[in-house]
Amino acid sequence: MKGERTNRLRVATLWLSGCSGCHMSLLDTDEFLLKLAEAIDLVHSPLADAPKFPSGVDLVLIEGGVGTEHDLERALLARSRSRQVVSLGDCAITGNVPALRNPLDREAIIREVYGVAWQPERLPALLPAVLPLHRVIAVDLFIPGCPPEPERIRTVLTAIIRGEAPQLPQEMLSFG
């Protein structure tokens, strides 16, 4: 039992400032999910019931940019507890749609969105700008796309499971 556990990759996924579309795309990998289930342990994920980010994680796929103090904390924690970090999708790589707020005034946006109902203690504080993940922590791999096509995710994960260095071909590299 113990020997078997060490062969399986401990994988986590994280959802920061994004729309969860990248997670949907991961679920969209169809029958590959079965292969994945054989090869990995999903130790923390919005898709799994494991509230704490554990230590000793082999691979973490992070969706979304870093837009709030809470995002920042979780990104730092994930980095410190994981061997390999993957930026999953355009939000994590470029800031993408959440970063559309960057040129605008932060306070004005909050007023616009929440109006008088704004209760600062109820929501995590917004950072001055939504940052790409790699501006905050070291990132080992990038899977661009909004959302990244399931094929791109499959290509990267297959290589990692096999213990190879993942290499996305040019046609799988475009943003958007």
| Residue 103 or 115 having the CB closest to other proteins | 103
Minimum Å gap between C-beta 146 and other proteins is: 3
| Residue 64 or 95 having the CB closest to other proteins | 95
Alpha carbons 104 and 155: distance in angstroms, whole number:
37
Minimum Å gap between C-beta 123 and other proteins is: 19
Minimum Å gap between C-beta 59 and other proteins is: 17
Q: How far is CA 130 from CA 32, 55, 94, 117, in A?
A: 32, 26, 9, 23
- Strands 82-88, 141-143: pairing is parallel
Minimum Å gap between C-beta 141 and other proteins is: 8
- 149 within 8 A of 173, measured Cβ to Cβ: no
| Residue 33 or 97 having the CB closest to other proteins | 97
Three-class DSSP category at 164: coil
Report the interface residues with other proteins, using CB under 8 A.
87, 90, 93-97, 99-100, 102-104, 128-129, 132, 134-135, 139, 142-144, 146, 168, 170-171, 173-176
Three-class DSSP category at 29: coil
| Residue 12 or 144 having the CB closest to other proteins | 144
End-to-end CA distance of the chain: 43
| Residue 29 or 87 having the CB closest to other proteins | 87
Minimum Å gap between C-beta 6 and other proteins is: 31
Three-class DSSP category at 55: coil
